[in-house]
Amino acid sequence: MNDTEKFLFDLQGFLKVPNVLSSTEVQALNDAFDANWDERYEDPNHAPHGSTHGPVRRGIFTGMLEWDTPHCQPFRDLLVHKKLIPYLNTFFGRGWKMDHSPFMLTGGKGTEGLVMHGSTSRVFDGSQYYQYANGVMRCGMIVCQFQLTDVNEGDGGFACIPGSHKANFPCPEAIRTWDEHQEVVYNVPCKAGDMVIFNEATLHGTLPWTAEHERRSLLYRYSPKYLHFAGGTYQTSQPEWVSELSEAQQAVLEPPYIYNRPLIEDDGVTVVKPRRE
């Protein structure tokens, strides 16, 4: 990360990184979704409130890492994408890990949003936090959201309250539901291939989708090597299909632990196993 990116992330609690994915990568991901459209389902755990409500339920895809070849491959390639490594090393130090299974959020015009949520810094949450000390940033879980279609400001989709990862007071409910002070909620514009990386402590959510084209936002979540936020997948063991992955990709799916953890080098391929990290 360069100095400008560090300043912006420290200030805002999120960072937009343009052109993380090439047009070829975006096309491969979109093609995989198109070929597996019957895997789409309505998000069962979603509950919009207030002005985040929309008439259309949002769709979700999961399990892409396990799809049949070749459709699983572009998702597996993202696990240790070379352009991600500098950001994850900066936020976590060496030895970070995948937390949630990847998923994609989708929907056309009228698709509902989601209230602002996040831990802020009112109380310390060991899984969702932001700290700075001695020139080093450290985070709990972070989210990498890859946009597979364009998002213009005002289209809806991902939005956050910049700087809220350091907020000291509870967020009023009417702001969480986007009913009051809508000006403090920023709908981050992106082009297909851009990434928004944000701290889970930052107040974030989704605004109802207003664009004519479909929203396609692919989310990968990472945690420090000692932490597992979500439970379930990758918490204590790895599924059998992990043997099909590269050594570096397997390292990302290791359960949480510290000593002798495999570390991925900047090339995204080489893995070293130190005695202690």
Residues 138, 151: Cα–Cα separation, whole Å: 29
Q: What is the CATH number of the domain that holds 223?
A: 2.60.120.620
Which H helix or E strand runs over 199?
strand 195-199
CA dihedral sign of residues 230, 232, 235, 238 = negative
Question: What is the value of pTM for the model shown?
Answer: 0.94
* Residue 253 included in any domain: no
Name the stretches of the chain with pLDDT < 70: 232-236, 275-277
Task: Decide if 250 is inside a domain.
Answer: no
The predicted pLDDT at position 155 comes to 97
Q: Count structural domains, the chain.
A: 1
Domain assignment present for residue 199? The answer is: yes
CA nearest 104: which of 148, 150, 73, 56? 148
Asked if residue 261 is part of any domain, the answer here is no
> How far, in Å, CA of 225 to CA of 92, rounded?
8
**Domain that includes residue 152, residue range:** 3-229
What is the spatial distance between Cα 274 and Cα 237, in angstroms, rounded to a whole number? 21
Query: Which DSSP string corresponds to 24-85?
Result: HHHHHHHHHHHHTGGG-EE-TT----GGG--SBPPEEEE-GGGSPTTTTHHHHHTTT-TTTH
- Residue 103, in any domain of the structure: yes
pLDDT of 192-211, one tens digit each?
999 999 999 999 999 999 99
- Give the mean pLDDT of the chain: 93
- Indicate whether 26 belongs to any domain: yes
pLDDT of 209 reads: 97
Q: How many CA atoms lie within 13 A of 28 on its CB side?
A: 16
The answer to whether position 166 is within a domain reads yes
Q: Is residue 267 part of a domain?
A: no
Segment 13-42, tens digit of pLDDT: 999 999 999 999 999 999 999 999 999 999
- Res 277: pLDDT: 47
